[in-house]
């Protein structure tokens, strides 16, 4: 399968040019919204892989530039909004964002998008809390071809060891981003599930038959890799997982290296 530059517009000669549209999906009785980006297609028969992007908390950084870069490279891309945030219906919780990742992958695999997606090549990309959701979805039976976790947030580390940082994180609810069942819903969700969701405790439940790629920044003060990623990474390496770790000089959202990020992610997904 041919892939292209993530930094160049598609070459002429397509049978169907790049397109985009909204998606409406049912997640446990609530409507959640998303959007797909379709690459240029150069034959009527070709089916292209898809990358599903899972955004962080509360989700101001949607990584749309990365979505466009991956679309230019030849991937379908789907990004979406969890229940209870950014217009999706229902209530926000950590439990729900894990479930919503399952919902979107199942929706794509079912063929309901109507797009020529190669459903054997579904890739999962999670940033920050999206990395938390992606890893926990994988630990509860989600099946994909490959997972990329960028600065994943082990929110349970904060629950157990850094309550001031947790309080700072969940204070976002005071800005009205989320629809919650009650004011302490996020804390109550963590109290009930933190042992299960804590990253090092996932290792026995994560699938071992897919590659995992972790991307972290040395200047990340939001989710420092030393606390959030490396304990899980060490356990995965001991257990024989196919796992790689990349770290470079940037912060939590990689604002200084976005073009390089697009190159790295594109190459990771092209390499099968």
| Spans of all domains in the chain | 19-270
Per-residue pLDDT of the chain (272 residues; tens, 9 = 90+): 899 999 999 999 999 999 999 999 999 999 999 999 999 999 999 999 999 999 999 988 899 999 999 999 999 999 999 999 999 999 999 999 999 999 999 999 999 999 999 999 999 999 999 999 999 999 999 999 999 999 999 999 999 999 999 999 999 899 999 999 999 999 999 999 999 999 999 999 999 999 999 999 999 999 999 999 999 999 999 999 999 999 999 999 999 999 999 999 999 999 76
DSSP 255: T
Q: Which CATH superfamily is domain 19-270 in?
A: Alpha/Beta hydrolase fold, catalytic domain (3.40.50.1820)
| Gyration radius of the chain over CA positions | 18
Using a pLDDT cut of 90, give the percent of the chain over it.
96
Instruction: Select from 138, 97, 145 the least CA-distant residue to 117.
Output: 145
Tell me 10's DSSP state: P
Q: Which residue is listed with tokens 């446990």?
A: 28
49, 123, 144, 228, 265 from 225: Cα distances, Å: 29, 23, 24, 5, 19
With residue 215 as reference, give the H or E element that holds it: strand 211-217
**pLDDT per position as a tens digit, 28-56:** 999 999 999 999 999 999 999 999 999 99
CB 212 within 8 A of CB 233: no
Structure tokens at 56: 């962080």
CA-nearest of 173, 215, 160 to 84 is 173
Angle at 82 between CA 224 and CA 37, to 5 degrees: 95
Tell me what pLDDT residue 272 has.
Answer: 63
CB 3 within 8 A of CB 270: yes
DSSP state of 11: P
Tokens 């790295």 belong to: 264
**Listing from the earlier edge strand, what are the strands of the sheet with 76-80?**
19-27, 30-38, 76-80, 48-54, 117-127, 146-150, 211-217, 242-248
């Amino acid at each position: 399968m041919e892939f292209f530059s993530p930094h160049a517009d598609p070459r002429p000669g397509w049978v169907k040019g790049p397109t985009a549209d909204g998606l409406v999906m049912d997640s446990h009785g609530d409507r959640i919204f998303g959007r797909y980006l379709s690459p240029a297609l150069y034959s009527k028969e070709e089916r292209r892989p898809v990358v599903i992007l899972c955004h962080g908390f509360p989700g101001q950084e949607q990584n749309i530039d990365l979505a466009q870069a991956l679309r230019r490279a030849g991937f379908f891309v789907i990004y979406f909004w969890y229940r209870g945030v950014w217009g999706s219906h229902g209530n926000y919780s950590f439990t729900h964002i894990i479930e919503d990742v399952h919902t979107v992958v199942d929706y794509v695999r079912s063929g309901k998008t109507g797009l020529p997606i190669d459903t054997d090549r579904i890739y999962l990309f999670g940033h920050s809390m999206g990395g938390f959701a992606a890893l926990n979805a994988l630990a509860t039976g989600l099946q994909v071809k490959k997972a990329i976790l960028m600065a994943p947030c082990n929110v349970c580390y904060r629950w157990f060891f850094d309550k001031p940082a947790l309080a700072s994180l969940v204070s976002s609810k005071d800005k009205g981003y989320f629809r919650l069942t009650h004011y302490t819903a996020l804390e109550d969700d963590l109290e009930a599930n933190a042992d299960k969701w804590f990253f090092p405790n996932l290792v026995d439940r994560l699938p071992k038959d897919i590659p995992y790629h972790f991307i972290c920044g040395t200047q990340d003060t939001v989710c420092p890799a030393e606390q959030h990623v490396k304990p899980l990474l060490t356990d995965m390496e001991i257990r024989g997982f196919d796992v790689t770790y990349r770290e470079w000089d940037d912060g939590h959202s990689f604002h200084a290296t976005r073009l390089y990020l697009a190159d790295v992610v594109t190459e990771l997904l092209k390499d099968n």
